A and B are shown apart, each in its own frame.
Chain A
Amino acid sequence: EAGVAQSPRYKIIEKRQSVAFWCNPISGHATLYWYQQILGQGPKLLIQFQNNGVVDDSQLPKDRFSAERLKGVDSTLKIQPAKLEDSAVYLCASSFTGNTEAFFGQGTRLTVV
């Protein structure tokens, strides 16, 4: 069974530039999560999808971050414009439904300079 796929693995951009991350969840998983993990901290939920609908985006900085999951499968997370404090690892996870075991991708390490 293929795991959660994320790309790119690493990205370096200058502040005020834009960046996009892609996630392909495990086949059949309805729930998809995007987390931000700053060095030394636990992951913080940015947005959670159930199929193509948003369940929770209360911690997503909507002035600069956006995410979509148009067909209920793949998802993209975008930052525009990026700030220095956005430097972090962005983790995607999926689960069969909410409250069931979640599986994580390898993450995308973003450095904003």
Chain B
Amino acid sequence: KQEVTQIPAALSVPEGENLVLNCSFTDSAIYNLQWFRQDPGKGLTSLLLIQSSQREQTSGRLNASLDKSSGRSTLYIAASQPGDSATYLCAVYNNNDMRFGAGTRLTVKP
């Protein structure tokens, strides 16, 4: 059974800092990995999807990397802004099954 872990559980940084969020998974036989953002009281917004054959994906200030062999993915956020404050979740796809980590709650202070 796939286990997904996200560390740290919470992170607070000053505006303008670059930061890295981590996601690890136990079963490396994944199809895709997807990063989501969740604002309080809202649903999940898709940020990036990395296919198993890819090593990274970029969208604006976001860059996600994938290392299947070590069971890790990172989400890099450049030049953080207060509007980036949210919970970031990673989801791993295994054989039609999508499992989530508990998320990292990010606070960017002005």
Instruction: Give residues in A with beta carbon < 8 Å to B.
Output: 4, 6, 31, 33, 35, 40-45, 48, 50, 55-56, 91, 93, 98-107, 109
A106 touches B100 (CB 8 A): no
A50 to B46, CA, bound (A): 21
B34 touches A43 (CB 8 A): no
B72 interface residue (CB < 8 Å to A): no
Please indicate the chain A residues that have their CB under 8 angstroms from the CB of B93 in the complex. Answer: 98-99
Which of B31, B44, B97, B99 interacts with A104 by CB under 8 Å?
Answer: B44
A107 touches B89 (CB 8 A): no
B91 touches A106 (CB 8 A): no
CB distance from A81 to the nearest CB of B (A): 26
A4 to B43, CA, bound (A): 10
Which of A45, A56, A104 interacts with B43 by CB under 8 Å?
Answer: A104
Residue of A nearest to B42 (CB): A106
Please indicate the chain B residues that have their CB under 8 angstroms from the CB of A33 in the complex. Answer: 98
A98 to B42, CA, bound (A): 24
Please indicate the chain B residues that have their CB under 8 angstroms from the CB of A4 in the complex. Answer: 43
Please indicate the chain A residues that have their CB under 8 angstroms from the CB of B43 in the complex. Answer: 4, 6, 91, 104-107
